[in-house]
Structure 1
Amino acid sequence: MSDRPLCFVLMPFGKKPDPAGGAAIDFDAVYRRALRPGIEDAGMTPIRADEEKLGGIIHQAMYERLLLCDFAVADLTTANPNVLYELGIRHAARPRTTLTVYAAQKPLPFDVALLRTQRYQLTTKNKLTGKAAERLRASTAAHLTSLQELARQDEAPDSPLFQLVSAWRPQQLPAEAASSFRGQVREGEALKRRLDTVRRMAGTADAEARAVLDEVHASMRRSDTVDLGVWIDLVLAYRALDDWRSMLEVYDDMPRHLRRQAAVRQLVAFAHNRLAEDPTNPERDERRATALSMLDELEREWGPSSETYGLRGRVYKAHWAEVAAAGEDLLAAVLLEKAVDQYVRGFEADWRDYYPGVNAVTLLDVQGTPASLDRKDDLLPVVRFALEQRARAEAADYWVSATRLELAVLDDDGDRARRALGECQGHAPERWQRRTTAGNLRLIRDARAARGIDVAWLDGLIDRLDPTA
């Protein structure tokens, strides 16, 4: 990253619903095809906000970027709450150098007449055409170049607060804070790019990837960076290698206030449970208890959530599989019922989150009683609807395709299952993702086989999904 001015981009990630009821808007395409190249054309370095990837967390690095980045671009389309909150902070801290943009045909929650607002056009299906992208790129570059000149001349502010309250003069941060911030941003962005490359190596060059991660981890121990995005990316990179212990070591090295974030603690509970699922681990019971304790604490602090219920369901599900394999039928039945209960509660906590829903219907199928199968039949169409609504609103990822595969298997629809399997393979999933899906299909296969149902067609699907099983 060069010494060019930093331009912070405030906008949603992925595809987001159109509040006017139209097709979802692909904000990644708007950024990739227009805003990022326009910022670069103006001689600046774009840095995109990452709090949505972290579950909506607005952390210390976010505030630093809002206060200290030389320039900012905010996309107000869909009136995303995080973007509006961040724009308010920026306008309270900086009198000028902020550019706002929005899709012209979309409603905004306030009057933008006072803002230096730049419109762009989407089609009736909310697509950004090539011509519209070029116009937005060119106008972004032109407006930012103009803002640079206005900043040098100390011209009129573009912040409504500075415009309307002439006495507003917040104290500026010391120059050394800005210098330190720029160094941390450059370091953090470089590490994120490196970690993203390492995650793509997982499954093909594990030893090389792990060596790079260990080197990055060691450098972060010596660094004073507090960017939660970098720490999260390191945890996720170790997860891609099935390295649960290293995930926990990274957590132990995080600054204390970062360790309290819900998204981080959920990942740690996940890692503890994965260690509990290892049949060679003598600490299985301790790890399982730690995972459950962390999830209980999260629910007490933050209330019920589909993610917390889903993770707790996973803990009970893994424990059920363990005791069932040992022939402890009575305890297995209790744990299976607990797992179903947690997944159903998770789906009821947020009907939009299909993850606990699909796990609930899968385990109901595994239970196999007339009552559980009736309950599965009632719930399965709701899960499918939630899945397809999410797929319409956001960029389809591996889990969308994997859930389509699982639902097709539960419906005994071989053709639909094979198409979904092709989708899964097209995403180049990480190893732990393939194993998770294959494990669920294997549960369905074994339970149905025990009931005398022909499941030979499932074996090929499972083998293709997880050939190392």
Structure 2
Amino acid sequence: MLKPLCFMVMPYGRKSTQAEPGKGPGDVDFNALWDRAYVPVIKMLGYEPVRADQDTGTLIVTQMLERLYFADLVLADMTIPNGNVCYELGIRHAAKDKGCVLLAADWSKQLFDVAQMRTIRYPLPEGNIEGATAAAIQEAVRAPISKLASGRSPMHEAIKGYPDQVDESATSTMQDYLRDLALMQGEIRAVRALPSQQRIARAKALALEYASLSVRAPVAIALIRLLRESVDKLEDWQVVLDYIASLPLDLADQPEFHEHRAFALSGTGRVVDSIAALETTIGRFGPTPERLGLLGGRYKRLARLASSDKERERLRNLAISAYERGMDLDLNEYYCSCNLPRLYRARNAKGDEERAQSVLRQVILACERAMSRSVADEWLRATLLSAAFDAGDADKAEAMADDMDKLVGEPGVAGLVSYKLDIIISDLEASAGQISDPERRQRLEAVARKFRTYLDADTV
């Protein structure tokens, strides 16, 4: 008698986890996870275990679709973000109403959509999958897999009558909503095309206009992003906070809104409240370079305002720690690393100059990589300018300053509004002050003054 088939959807080989140090292993041998943990437990449950790489030859798309459709059970390991795994999970959810179970390591953080789905958690303290780890995983997942295997897929659960008996009245309602959403997105593009000083008022009006639709996540997310992008002056941040406060609690509790709220709190001057909000967000939803970069920036701001050397040193070290944690998650993300050279030099402990030079090289490489990939980031050229200052490269800094319009950006597209430019100038001034060579320091200070004049003239 043939056993029912269990098709496993998971990464192959050894993969980086980007887990924060101390919160999970740096990489995981997913082949060992399959061999030592999943295969035994699948057999215990009475299924025949199959994974794509164990077929004769690599699965082509048609074969993969067949496995996903005909398998009696599909298990999807969501421990790390993986495009193929997410794609195959979506196929199974759409194709069959039952028999799909999500699993993930206990320390992993899921992407937004997947985080809303029931997921079996298992202990994974190390990535080699030693005997004790494999046994603990089997113990953690065996009974829950058996229980959840009969659960309905989100697609079949959400859409009544799916796939061939869908309620047409529901279809009409959704079409009306999508038309409203398309109209709103067109209005958002119009706001972005306005001069920076005019955006926040129109963005606020648009948020009020679409308040009746704001209970839906896509609309709320689009509007909060527009409001944040439209901030021109510090007092505009209250508009962002007010909008978040107007959202239903279940929607405002999503990770993205926590990030926007923390940043807006800092913008209104409530830096300590911002730090508390960021720490809570990281604790609940996990670290990302963006969250740790925001956290480092808040500590850096407090350090500048500190009333004593001892307090300044404490806050500076907290900023360095946050930035280092963010940099370790992804070396290609230059947000965290670009702030470290001048912080190391300000601390001036043993080895800090070597650390500054090492990180500076990484920042430049990451920025140049982003430039070669045509990454659309309004901070990219500004980060390269800051790196030139940190390197004491007056020639490069002056060349970039000569092309100021390109650096600042085209208003309505990637323009750096006044408060953003003020942040950059403050960093440039701090960096220039750390250059020991008098001639180069004077040249860099002249570039910083040029930007300060540009800001004061309010031509951004």
Report the TM-score when normalising by structure 2: 0.58
- Residue aligning to 2:175: 182
Relative distance call for 1:434 and 1:200 in structure 2 (3 A) is: farther
User: C-alpha deviations, 1:159-190, integer Å up to 9, x for none?
Assistant: xxxxxxxxx96364432322222222222222
Percent identity for Structure 1 against Structure 2: 20
User: C-alpha deviations, 1:335-394, integer Å up to 9, x for none?
Assistant: 112211211111012222111000112322333456322210122112222222333345
- Residue aligning to 1:309: 292
The answer to whether the Cα contact below 8 Å between 2:392 and 2:440 also exists between their aligned partners in 1 is: no
Relative distance call for 1:290 and 1:464 in structure 2 (3 A) is: same
The answer to whether the Cα contact below 8 Å between 2:388 and 2:396 also exists between their aligned partners in 1 is: yes
Equivalent positions of 1:4-403 (< 5 A) are 80-81=83-84, 84=87, 88=91, 92=95, 170=163, 172-203=165-196, 206=197, 208-223=198-213, 226=216, 227=218, 228-240=220-232, 242=234, 243-276=236-269, 287-323=270-306, 327-368=307-348, 371-403=351-383
The answer to whether the Cα contact below 8 Å between 1:402 and 1:424 also exists between their aligned partners in 2 is: yes
Equivalent residue letter for 1:410: D
The answer to whether the Cα contact below 8 Å between 1:313 and 1:343 also exists between their aligned partners in 2 is: yes
Alpha-carbon distance in structure 1 between the residues aligned to 2:181 and 2:228? 15
Alpha-carbon distance in structure 1 between the residues aligned to 2:256 and 2:214? 21
The answer to whether the Cα contact below 8 Å between 2:316 and 2:343 also exists between their aligned partners in 1 is: yes
Alpha-carbon distance in structure 2 between the residues aligned to 1:465 and 1:198? 27
The answer to whether the Cα contact below 8 Å between 1:365 and 1:444 also exists between their aligned partners in 2 is: no
Q: Compute the displacement of 1:81 (Å).
A: 4.6
Relative distance call for 1:434 and 1:197 in structure 2 (3 A) is: farther
Relative distance call for 1:217 and 1:311 in structure 2 (3 A) is: same
Q: Compute the displacement of 1:329 (Å).
A: 1.9
Alpha-carbon distance in structure 2 between the residues aligned to 1:173 and 1:414? 66
Equivalent residue letter for 1:269: A
- Residue aligning to 1:442: 429
Equivalent residue letter for 1:262: P
Q: Compute the displacement of 1:417 (Å).
A: 1.9
Where do 4+ consecutive residues of structure 1 move more than 4 Å? 79-83, 451-454
Where in structure 1 are there 5+ consecutive unaligned residues? Answer: 1-78, 94-167, 277-286
Relative distance call for 1:82 and 1:210 in structure 2 (3 A) is: farther
Q: Compute the displacement of 1:433 (Å).
A: 2.7
Q: Compute the displacement of 1:202 (Å).
A: 4.2
The answer to whether the Cα contact below 8 Å between 1:366 and 1:444 also exists between their aligned partners in 2 is: no
User: C-alpha deviations, 1:263-314, integer Å up to 9, x for none?
Assistant: 22112111111222xxxxxxxxxx2232122212222222332222111101
Where in structure 2 are there 5+ consecutive unaligned residues? Answer: 1-81, 97-160
Relative distance call for 1:86 and 1:298 in structure 2 (3 A) is: same
Relative distance call for 1:169 and 1:343 in structure 2 (3 A) is: closer
Q: Which structure is higher in RCO with an 8 Å CA cutoff and minimum separation 6?
A: 1
Alpha-carbon distance in structure 2 between the residues aligned to 1:464 and 1:173? 63
Equivalent residue letter for 1:387: C
Comparing 413-422 with 265-274, greater Cα deviation is found at: 413-422
Equivalent residue letter for 1:414: A
Relative distance call for 1:254 and 1:329 in structure 2 (3 A) is: same
The answer to whether the Cα contact below 8 Å between 2:293 and 2:322 also exists between their aligned partners in 1 is: yes
2:210 partner SS: helix
1:397 partner SS: coil
Alpha-carbon distance in structure 2 between the residues aligned to 1:82 and 1:456? 54
Relative distance call for 1:176 and 1:373 in structure 2 (3 A) is: same
Relative distance call for 1:452 and 1:368 in structure 2 (3 A) is: farther
Q: Compute the displacement of 1:455 (Å).
A: 2.3
- Residue aligning to 1:25: none
User: C-alpha deviations, 1:103-134, integer Å up to 9, x for none?
Assistant: xxxxxxxxxxxxxxxxxxxxxxxxxxxxxxxx
Alpha-carbon distance in structure 2 between the residues aligned to 1:266 and 1:185? 27
